[in-house]
Structure 1
Amino acid sequence: MQRRTTAPNSSSVLQPRPKGELLWVHATTSERYHALCDIGRRLKSLRPDLSVLASWEPGLRLTGTVGCDIPIGPLPEDTMAEARGFLNHWQPDACIWTGPPARRVLLRQLRENGTGVLLADLLEDEMPNRASRWLPDQRRRLLDGLTCILTPSKAVQARLIRIGFPAERVQLASKLRVSAVPPGCNDEELAAMQQTLGSRPVWLAAHTKLSELPRILDAHRTALRLLHRLLLVVALENSADLSAARRLLQDSGLSFADWEDGGEPEDLTQVLLAGSEDLGLWYRLSPAALIASSLDPGAQGQSPLDAAALGSALLHGPGIHAHRDLYERLAAAGAAQPVLSQSELADTVVALSAPDKAAEMALAGWQSVTESAATADMLLEKAQTMLDQREETDAGT
């Protein structure tokens, strides 16, 4: 594929353009950013030479993830010189934009360069306004270079068609949110463990840090007073902590089995020690899951998506700063509950031993994390189409 070699003239350029295809994504919220990075991750698994360039609005504090491997932050000013310098340097093959299509110069340059632009998740308050009722309406001209617009709002769809945007290029889709691709597990192992555990109540402490383990064990010891057959599965975040965790368990007085050493839970086993490699199995077996790495207030936390997608009622501590939007969405749906002390953790685990309560929370979580799956699939398909069309265009020149 031939590439232009025009030198950049923008002060925002900090690194060379990678070889191969480049998808540029732009986010206005952290939730949209993580959703776009998830799309990027899935695309990269299908197109190994693809890189994903990520920009976002000022005020957001974001970093790169597995899907967005070139995080550049806020864009330069929307001037002709900056827009040309940015695009001449990065030469994106396609773009997924979220938020208001307010950068008129940049969007015009993308149109002139023949770069496909998909505007995703357009909300009512993000629609461009008419500059003046006495001047010609320029909104159609602004939007005309967009390949497609996705919106969760029927009102937005109607307004777009009313100002002249082609109806076949605007589609209704649910809000853009991170969708889960949960880990799998061995079906035979799952069936065997289901038979072994039978009707025993089980709860999971996932992504457990060694420093959190004593507090989790104390909460479990308290819960055992009311639920004598309760089993705690501890999935350590760091496998290097296994030896130290074994010593803690030996000193705790609790009966434990070591899954990593080939052990399995027996009738009198109170704790099962495991690593994080088999979380797909433990989420499926545990009606309630504490997403640990969150018990310390300053912690960043771990994503709750996998647990929610696999049917666990979610508990978490106060340290969820890196994923706060996700937890707040799940809490609003009734799928996640914060626990701020050991006694609160014990009480909540006991309460969730009632199957109907755990099932209610689990269903709410599953619905919340899967509602945007169709939108993610649609974005994936449309991004693939834009990239394929650009490849065909470049091959013909």
Structure 2
Amino acid sequence: MAPRSLGLTAYRALVRRGGAEPAASYPTRPNGELVWLHAAEPGNALAVLDLAKRLMTMRDRLSVVITLPERAAPSDPPPCTADNIFITRVPGEHPDNVDAFLSHWQPNFCIWTWGGLRPNLVLDTAERRCPMVMIDADTAGFDGRRDRWLPDLTRRLLGSFELTLARSDAALRRLVQLGLPRERGEVTSPLLAGGQALNCADSDLVDMSAALGGRPVWYANQILPEEISVVLGAHRQALRLSHRLLLILHTHDYATAEEALERAKARGFNAIRWGEDPYPDETTQVMVADDPGDRGLFFRVAPVSFLGSSLVAGHGGCDPFEAAALGSAVLYGPKVRHYLPSYGRLANAGAARIVNDAGALGNAVSRLIAPDQAAAMAHAGWDVISEGAALADRVIDHVQDRLDDLAGAA
């Protein structure tokens, strides 16, 4: 065991004096391997969640726990319905809280992001022989008073990580100055959310494409009851310029789908229900769906998608990278707080456009169903979601190798 520094002794005495926080109530830990990711940078939990999903896609039966900082951004935690991903607040630094967290989750590997190192948590994790890496390290994560006044403590913390990946040359220089062994540090691209391609059965895609026969299609996803009239109004407007245009209206639940079907028929549309009626034919104007498992199919057949839950406050929008990853140009409303960084990146690249009402949505759909327009936005979207792929692949490969090593040694 490394000798205790005066800085660590003083820090731990101060923490103990403050007392432990009330015991946290954690969900049951699943059996099997578990990776812990700490999203230390406020506002970047979305990128950490994306990395977790990619890692779980690559390794069967893996579970993930993501911890958020004590002062998380308003958009954190991001929505997550994936099985075996648990999102919780980071434990307090009192030894009792740290021990309760580590004893419950028993992580097999830790990925720490950005900085903001927590001495008791980092050192106790290392003492339990849990391998740790730090990624996306930045100078802003190491500008606290403790890093300046207790350099011996910071040096010891940095030595606990077997690999540190910094987001810039300046960040790596700062970490080396603080005591990071140079041979354990590298400069990589920043950690960015990138999305993943949703699954789709090949047979479904072939059958749907045959049924459409080259018709222009646009897709409205995760539509709320308050958004139905906007989407139907936009479709009516777009039909004036493209008479064969089909709208796939995908609601956020079954009850809203029934309401959408009734309202579409009441407005004179030839509407069908996906899953209950046959495939759309040449006369179908609106097809209503509600199964979230079909999103991968619809993003593939629609070159333009409006992402709902974005015109009404309180819902926060849906993930735009699901559409961009499958080559669909993105339209969205202004209420997207859960995914604001992702929408901002796409909009800045010309891969997404904001709309506020039925008229703006109808005009955008009419313009973007032109193949060249949608293709340009889709290409820009692919460039955006590919930006962080190299770092994600590097981290996933490292984690896979280390977990394989640990499994082999067991």
What TM bracket, shorter-length normalisation?
A: 0.7 to 0.9
Name the stretch that deviates more: 38-47 or 171-180: 38-47
CA drift at 1:230: 2.1
Give CA-to-partner distance per residue, 1:38-81, whole Å, 9 cap, x none: 3334545635364525232414343473367443314424x666
Partner of 2:251: 236
Structure 2 partner of 1:37: 49
SS at match of 1:115: coil
Aligned 1:178-327 pairs, distance under 5 A = 178-276=193-291, 277-327=293-343
Is residue 41–residue 68 contact of structure 1 (8 Å, CA) maintained in 2? Answer: no
The aligned counterpart of 1:169 is 184
| CA-to-aligned-CA distance 1:272-331 (integer Å, 9 cap, x gap) | 233343222221121110011222133322111111100111111222222222212222
Deviation readout 1:326-378 (Å, 9 max, x if unpaired): 21222222211111111111111112123222222111112112222232232
Counterpart Cα distance in 2 of 1:133 and 1:253? 69
Q: Is the 8 A contact 2:316 2:335 kept in 1?
A: yes
Whether 2:138 is the aligned partner of 1:126: answer no
Q: 358, 368, 375: which is aligned to 1:352? A: 368
| Paired residues of 1:41 and 1:67 also in contact (CA < 8 A) | no
Query: 2:200 is paired with a residue of what secondary structure?
Result: coil
Q: Which amino acid aligns with 1:76?
A: G
What are the superposed Cα offsets for residues 208-254 of structure 1, whole Å, 9 maximum, x if unpaired? 23442222111111122222222212123223444333322221112
Cα distance in structure 2, aligned partners of 1:58 and 1:160? 24
In structure 2, relative to structure 1, the CA distance for the partners of 1:278 and 1:113 (3 Å cut) is closer
Asked whether the 8 Å contact 1:179–1:376 carries over to 2, the reply is no
Gaps of 5+ in 2: 1-18
Change (3 A) 1:101 1:293: closer
Structure 1 residues 148 and 68, CA, compared in 2 at 3 Å: closer, same or farther?
A: farther
Q: Within 2, Cα distance between the matches of 1:133 and 1:300?
A: 39
Q: Which residue of 1 aligns with 2:162?
A: 147
Q: In the superposition, relative to structure 1, how do residues 161 and 200 fare at CA in structure 2: closer, same or farther (>3 Å)?
A: same
Q: Which moved more, 1:85-94 or 1:147-156?
A: 85-94
- The aligned counterpart of 2:92 is 76
Q: CA RMSD in A?
A: 3.4
- Residues 31 and 192 from structure 1, CA distance in 2 versus in 1: closer, same or farther, beyond 3 angstroms? farther
Which stretch of structure 1 is more off in the superposition, 83-92 or 247-256? Answer: 83-92
Q: Give the deviation of 1:151 after TM superposition.
A: 2.3
- For residue 97 of structure 1, the aligned residue among 112, 118, 127 is 112
Structure 1 residue 196: Cα displacement: 4.4
In 2, Cα distance between equivalents of 1:224 and 1:364: 27
Change (3 A) 1:117 1:300: same
Are residues 359 and 67 of structure 1, via their aligned partners in 2, closer, same or farther at CA, if it must alter by over 3 Å?
Answer: same
Counterpart CA distance in 2 for 1:208 and 1:84 is 44
Contact (CA 8 Å) 1:23, 1:95: kept in 2 or not? yes
Query: Aligned pair 1:48/2:61, yes or no?
Result: yes
Write the distance in 2 (CA, Å) between the matches of 1:184 and 1:278.
Answer: 8
Looking at structure 2, the residues matched to 135 and 325 of structure 1 have their Cα atoms a distance apart, in angstroms, of 34
Question: Which residues of 2 match residues 336-351 of structure 1 at below 5 A?
Answer: 336-351=352-367
What is the match of residue 36 of structure 2?
24
CA contact (8 A) 2:306 2:331 kept: yes
Shift in CA distance, 133/328, structure 1 to aligned 2, threshold 3 Å: closer
Structure 2 letter corresponding to 1:33: A
Q: Which moved more, 1:194-203 or 1:227-236?
A: 194-203
| SS of aligned partner of 1:207 | strand
108 and 226 in structure 1: CA distance in 2 versus 1, 3 angstrom threshold? same
Where 1:272 maps in the other structure, the secondary structure is strand
Instruction: Name which of structure 1's ranges 333-342 and 294-303 shifts more when overlaid on structure 2.
Output: 294-303
Show structure 1 runs of 5+ residues with no match: 1-8
Q: Does 1:14 align with 2:27?
A: no
CA contact under 8 A between 2:346 and 2:384: conserved in structure 1? yes
Tell me the equivalent position of 1:361.
377
Deviates more, 1:191-200 or 1:367-376: 191-200
Whole-Å separation in 1 of the counterparts to 2:231 and 2:270: 15
| Alignment CA distance shift 1:89-1:245 (3 Å) | closer
Instruction: Return the alpha-carbon distance in structure 2 between the equivalents of residues 302 and 134 of structure 1.
Output: 43
Please tell me whether the aligned partners of residues 40 and 68 of structure 1 are also in contact (alpha carbons under 8 angstroms).
Answer: no
Report if the CA contact (8 A) 2:196-2:322 is conserved: yes
- Percent of paired sites with the same residue: 35
- Partners of 2:118 and 2:297 in 1: CA distance: 47
Moved more, 154-163 or 258-267: 154-163
